[in-house]
Structure 1
């Protein structure tokens, strides 16, 4: 039995590579369908928050005239859409449709004392038209929530008494302001609906009416406000959420998925799924970020900040599948100027001109227009190809494991295939994420292991060729093996939920750390063909070595380096001002920015390490512990599933090309230093 297993285990190494190739061939159509999905939506929409404009106008001597002027200026700058909220009494006040008073204020203007203990809200409509159109809306909104509303008038103006405090009444949401919708339409703006979950309990009839009003005004998309979506009552499968989903389908409204939130809006994923992912991604310029465009800045400082925001908008559209950019602003008290200022002109400046966001986005191949969701390409034959990609991924993991424990090759593949089959039935999405992480770790690791073996064969005389050419060729071959992981990740996670970041690639920190540790272990214990007993003896020798202060310092430095390296991974990593400037320079000149750690560090270090190991000492192979950072970075680039595949491909291509050039420079510099050392330093010592 053991002999039979040993014979088949030895043969398995060759035919498992054929399994990998079959998996790659099956993965290519899956990757192609993701590319087709990504290219189905190329319109970018800039939207301004209309409520913010009303807030700013309140500090102007003629608010209505100011709003009109700013709307015209925004239209000229290229902002084509306005986000309109469900109205509130306070918003109607800002729009000069009503005047609001507390019980005390109403008593002062009427000259009649307020009832003892009364704390109500008094509403006066500006004119008869405002009363006719807004009074039914106000009465309905408050009566629905059990708040008594009764008529009131002052002189020749009609109004209402709302039996709630002014502070509370100002928070209640109503139908959108019909005057605002008409005015914005007349100005030529598209309407984007902004809905909240503040109307509790949820009323399908009330939401139906609101969506109908927005649809009549031309709205095709919704941005949800707050921590939860309308209809969310604490659980994902509530009847209220089902009703909301049905209404979204009825009015064919697309949903905006706001990026970089601390937590997804509760209930959003359910609505996205029920709407068949009629969803697009939204990037927001917050009020606080807009504030930094204004204030007491020099002209140069202001231009630099404007350019940074413009670059950010372009990068969002190109690199992160963003289809809507939501602009916010607010008034700021400027004590030095003794006035209230706003960043509206600076925001418009981020869009205008040759270096502005609009022209650069169009130049990148996008068009300006209403944001819409992707057309999802999901052919029926995906059900046949994905299992093949799954088996191919299992084969890559088994082949990697076999370089440490050769006898496990066949059994690990069979057990892996059986477990994958069971999980494919129970939870395919979980299986795909687990395999994507596994193959993401194993592909660059396998590539580096084969590179180390090639160098040892070269030193043994089994391979020939120029040393620099060998190093570059080895780098390219290793990168191609790492790309095996890329193809499987793109194929396994080609679901639209990853492009929309409704779900994500998991285990980024593990991807960045595990291959480094594995290659370090391989170099120490497995790369020299040691027998099991010799491996154990080497481990004992290392564990029993004398620990000096120097080793403690080195270990501390390594831990600090690892912590810094991990802190730079993912979206949370922080870059210095110089690095941001260098990034912008690369982005603006190359169109797509290659990763700095790849072409200035990891790729050149790989090439230099291979060259030194072949020409000088095999101990130079330990440089590969750093060189693998570039290989896993290749995989990580494509693990950013919200980035279009073609952008990631260009980024990696630039990194490889520039990495080879810088790697050659590393070798040249090393040789110059080595010759100088031999010529000047060694003779003087002798």
Structure 2
């Protein structure tokens, strides 16, 4: 039997990197623990609409929502359409005024004189003010958006009138600045303000100044959550926007993308976040088209999970438009808010102004040690595929490490860190499985699998091996969680690259490892990489039967589901029964384990142990080993979600180990019972080789 050596000095470098990763992960945990305040936000207009629909007094209804848990109100820019509906001003096309005059319905002498003087044009828009401040703000914003030449003041006094050269259907929907009266009302009601301004076309310094001057009167401004595709001031005046953020210590609200990867595309968002030293908070809103389909309890559970797992600190909550049975619409929405608050409090959150991360960046020398450890792990893996002299292992480790570490020590090295993270996520699960395979090979060579092996021993030994293997894989997860630890990754301004490769590569590499140690089609062990090449050649020349075609077809379907379900793109849908299982586990466990771990990978590991102890055919052993590697890779990939607290990622993996061991033990017992039944049917007891 060929013996593969594990270089002790490379292992020492891996341990050194592990110590560095534990240090960084503890620092990261401390930063994450300090970030526990959630801001619950509703739109000012939503509550006003509820008051109108239910005939409730607005001020009292706002206080009820505040008592239920709402901390902040989102204030959007106003439009002529909104102001028309609220009666704060009147906007109408010139054509309507002319129609009224021609039909004899226009009796106001003011308008009749304007028409007689030819000052009312069918294609223009006319705005009549009831509220002087609202009128002045609308006029100011229209002049900035259209230019003063297209906006004419026709009358002043108690009933001011504007003539605007614009298309009525378009202009009534334009954003016309944040309304001062709503900002003032939110302040007086005792809520925080989340302002939602938009950018201007060909934005000028005067435009940016005007927005922040209007916000200057807001006493309780919590955050700015920009609307539209651009940040105010983009592209050339972002420094001016940044100066206002710094001056008032305003939090930048960054809206998570519906696919849960980074943010809704807004030009200038990450530049502003970086410039204000990452005083930013992640925002989530249940999509408008999805919320009506969710039962209230499911929506509440989603908020609890979202805030825990994805570092959401601003919950932008939309109202329900249909009442629950036996409740009014207001009672339904008050219960929704109150129950969501209770669920968050139960998870250890507090309600208030959104918490932000301190601008954490790990010490470069600690990151360098992790990069060195990841490099050593990569070289150690190569030595398990094709053993080569120790001096060449040291040389290769040194050369690669120098190239990767130099930019890290210079204070940058994001690409180097991402490469080290990717290597760790791929290599450590494979090394863990390789080590376990070699343990089993030694036991087999020592004759420990000869004769019948009891079911109790298979389960206890298998669980022990599973725990040891998972702990080794966990080192890779801790490497990933540490080497990418900084505030940019916590906020998802930077992300882990190579999710799909992380799932697929370990399966390929463990296949390579297996073929260097075993012959898939018989009991003869291969010797080294040359044996690997002979096996690959033999596999390519192996006759294809219908059975093999069916096997490959099934494998292709599994791969399609497996790869399609990875990452954040819309891929293979999740079955309804699995969604229900997820919801159950989310409520029953601190961190819901991944189904591919506790349902597939870990049970496959215990079945692989059974296959090896009972000396099943090599092909069956190989397929189970590959399936077991799936769980090890998934465990490490969990840590690639840097927005998730490192403690939660760790517990998620351990929960999966616990549940997977139980299901795996049950699977082993089930197979053993089937063996007994089959043996009785043929009149003999199970053979050691069955």
- Shorter-chain TM band: 0.7 to 0.9
Q: Say which SS state the counterpart of residue 313 (structure 2) adopts.
A: strand
Structure 1 residues 61 and 576: alpha-carbon distance in aligned structure 2, compared to 1, 3 A threshold: closer
Kindly indicate whether residue 442 of structure 2 is the aligned counterpart of residue 457 of structure 1.
yes
Structure 1 residues 667 and 684: alpha-carbon distance in aligned structure 2, compared to 1, 3 A threshold: closer
| Residue of structure 2 aligned with 1:245, choices 242, 245, 269 | 242
Q: Say which SS state the counterpart of residue 225 (structure 1) adopts.
A: coil
Kindly indicate whether residue 364 of structure 2 is the aligned counterpart of residue 370 of structure 1.
no
Q: 1:289: which partner in 2?
A: 290
1:594 CA displacement? 1.7
Structure 1 residues 331 and 105: alpha-carbon distance in aligned structure 2, compared to 1, 3 A threshold: farther
Mapped to 2, the partners of 1:153 and 1:681 lie a distance apart of: 104
* Deviating more after overlay: 638-647 vs 414-423: 414-423
Structure 1 residues 517 and 67: alpha-carbon distance in aligned structure 2, compared to 1, 3 A threshold: same
1:605 CA displacement? 1.3
Kindly indicate whether residue 679 of structure 2 is the aligned counterpart of residue 678 of structure 1.
yes
1:258 CA displacement? 0.8
1:324 CA displacement? 0.7
Mapped to 2, the partners of 1:156 and 1:475 lie a distance apart of: 81
Q: Say which SS state the counterpart of residue 504 (structure 1) adopts.
A: coil
Structure 1 residues 531 and 285: alpha-carbon distance in aligned structure 2, compared to 1, 3 A threshold: closer
Mapped to 2, the partners of 1:41 and 1:683 lie a distance apart of: 64
Contact 1:125–1:159 (CA under 8 A) maintained in structure 2: yes
Structure 1 residues 647 and 547: alpha-carbon distance in aligned structure 2, compared to 1, 3 A threshold: same
Q: 2:541: which partner in 1?
A: 544
Q: 2:372: which partner in 1?
A: 391
Structure 1 residues 545 and 287: alpha-carbon distance in aligned structure 2, compared to 1, 3 A threshold: closer
Q: Say which SS state the counterpart of residue 566 (structure 2) adopts.
A: coil
* Deviating more after overlay: 367-376 vs 446-455: 367-376
1:627-638 correspondence to structure 2 within 5 Å:
627-638=628-639
Q: 2:522: which partner in 1?
A: none
Q: Say which SS state the counterpart of residue 361 (structure 1) adopts.
A: helix
Q: 1:140: which partner in 2?
A: 140
Structure 1 residues 463 and 671: alpha-carbon distance in aligned structure 2, compared to 1, 3 A threshold: closer
1:157 CA displacement? 3.0
Q: 1:86: which partner in 2?
A: 77
Q: 2:95: which partner in 1?
A: 104
1:28 CA displacement? 1.7
Q: 1:554: which partner in 2?
A: 551
Please give the per-residue CA displacement for 1:373-398, whole angstroms capped at 9, x wherever unaligned. Answer: 1123446xx12211111111111111
Q: 1:157: which partner in 2?
A: 159
Mapped to 1, the partners of 2:433 and 2:5 lie a distance apart of: 23
Contact 1:606–1:624 (CA under 8 A) maintained in structure 2: yes
Q: Say which SS state the counterpart of residue 643 (structure 1) adopts.
A: coil
Kindly indicate whether residue 670 of structure 2 is the aligned counterpart of residue 669 of structure 1.
yes
Q: 1:575: which partner in 2?
A: 574
Contact 1:37–1:376 (CA under 8 A) maintained in structure 2: no
Q: 1:419: which partner in 2?
A: 403
Mapped to 1, the partners of 2:609 and 2:546 lie a distance apart of: 31
Q: 1:409: which partner in 2?
A: 393
Contact 1:306–1:347 (CA under 8 A) maintained in structure 2: no
Kindly indicate whether residue 443 of structure 2 is the aligned counterpart of residue 483 of structure 1.
no
1:271 CA displacement? 0.4
Structure 1 residues 504 and 155: alpha-carbon distance in aligned structure 2, compared to 1, 3 A threshold: closer
Structure 1 residues 309 and 675: alpha-carbon distance in aligned structure 2, compared to 1, 3 A threshold: same
Q: 2:485: which partner in 1?
A: 494
1:615 CA displacement? 3.2
Contact 2:477–2:639 (CA under 8 A) maintained in structure 1: yes
User: TM-score normalized by structure 1?
Assistant: 0.86
Q: 1:296: which partner in 2?
A: none
Mapped to 2, the partners of 1:328 and 1:568 lie a distance apart of: 29
Kindly indicate whether residue 381 of structure 2 is the aligned counterpart of residue 400 of structure 1.
yes
Contact 1:204–1:244 (CA under 8 A) maintained in structure 2: no
1:452 CA displacement? 0.7
Q: 2:431: which partner in 1?
A: 446
Please give the per-residue CA displacement for 1:287-330, whole angstroms capped at 9, x wherever unaligned. Answer: 3234446xxxxxxxxxxx11111111111111111101112359
Q: Say which SS state the counterpart of residue 503 (structure 1) adopts.
A: coil
Q: Say which SS state the counterpart of residue 216 (structure 1) adopts.
A: coil
Q: 1:213: which partner in 2?
A: 214
* Deviating more after overlay: 395-404 vs 182-191: 182-191
Structure 1 residues 343 and 649: alpha-carbon distance in aligned structure 2, compared to 1, 3 A threshold: farther
Q: Say which SS state the counterpart of residue 570 (structure 1) adopts.
A: coil
| Residue of structure 2 aligned with 1:308, choices 298, 321, 338 | 298
Contact 2:88–2:129 (CA under 8 A) maintained in structure 1: yes
1:156 CA displacement? 6.5
Kindly indicate whether residue 116 of structure 2 is the aligned counterpart of residue 119 of structure 1.
no
Q: 2:31: which partner in 1?
A: 37
Runs of 4+ in 1 over 6 A off after TM superposition: 55-58, 462-465
Q: 1:588: which partner in 2?
A: 587
Mapped to 1, the partners of 2:69 and 2:528 lie a distance apart of: 70
Kindly indicate whether residue 48 of structure 2 is the aligned counterpart of residue 48 of structure 1.
no
Q: 2:645: which partner in 1?
A: 644
1:603 CA displacement? 0.7
- In structure 2, stretches of 5+ residues that fail to align are 519-524
| Residue of structure 2 aligned with 1:17, choices 8, 11, 17 | 11
1:155-194 correspondence to structure 2 within 5 Å:
157-194=159-196
1:537 CA displacement? 3.0
Q: 1:271: which partner in 2?
A: 272
Structure 1 residues 684 and 538: alpha-carbon distance in aligned structure 2, compared to 1, 3 A threshold: closer
1:626 CA displacement? 0.3
Mapped to 2, the partners of 1:490 and 1:292 lie a distance apart of: 35
Q: Say which SS state the counterpart of residue 224 (structure 1) adopts.
A: coil
Contact 2:254–2:283 (CA under 8 A) maintained in structure 1: yes
Root-mean-square deviation (CA, aligned residues, Å) is: 3.0
Contact 1:92–1:177 (CA under 8 A) maintained in structure 2: no
User: TM-score normalized by structure 2?
Assistant: 0.86
Contact 1:498–1:642 (CA under 8 A) maintained in structure 2: yes
Q: Say which SS state the counterpart of residue 99 (structure 1) adopts.
A: strand
Mapped to 2, the partners of 1:524 and 1:591 lie a distance apart of: 39
Structure 1 residues 200 and 684: alpha-carbon distance in aligned structure 2, compared to 1, 3 A threshold: closer
1:327-366 correspondence to structure 2 within 5 Å:
327-329=317-319, 346-352=332-338, 356-366=339-349
1:151 CA displacement? 3.0
Structure 1 residues 291 and 261: alpha-carbon distance in aligned structure 2, compared to 1, 3 A threshold: closer
Structure 1 residues 11 and 456: alpha-carbon distance in aligned structure 2, compared to 1, 3 A threshold: closer
* Deviating more after overlay: 254-263 vs 28-37: 254-263
Structure 1 residues 378 and 415: alpha-carbon distance in aligned structure 2, compared to 1, 3 A threshold: closer
Please give the per-residue CA displacement for 1:499-518, whole angstroms capped at 9, x wherever unaligned. Answer: 11111111110111111121
Mapped to 2, the partners of 1:139 and 1:406 lie a distance apart of: 78
Q: 1:611: which partner in 2?
A: 610
Q: Say which SS state the counterpart of residue 283 (structure 2) adopts.
A: strand
Mapped to 1, the partners of 2:54 and 2:435 lie a distance apart of: 74
Please give the per-residue CA displacement for 1:144-190, whole angstroms capped at 9, x wherever unaligned. Answer: 33143333459963332223232343344344212212222222222
Contact 1:36–1:377 (CA under 8 A) maintained in structure 2: no
- The aligned length equals 640
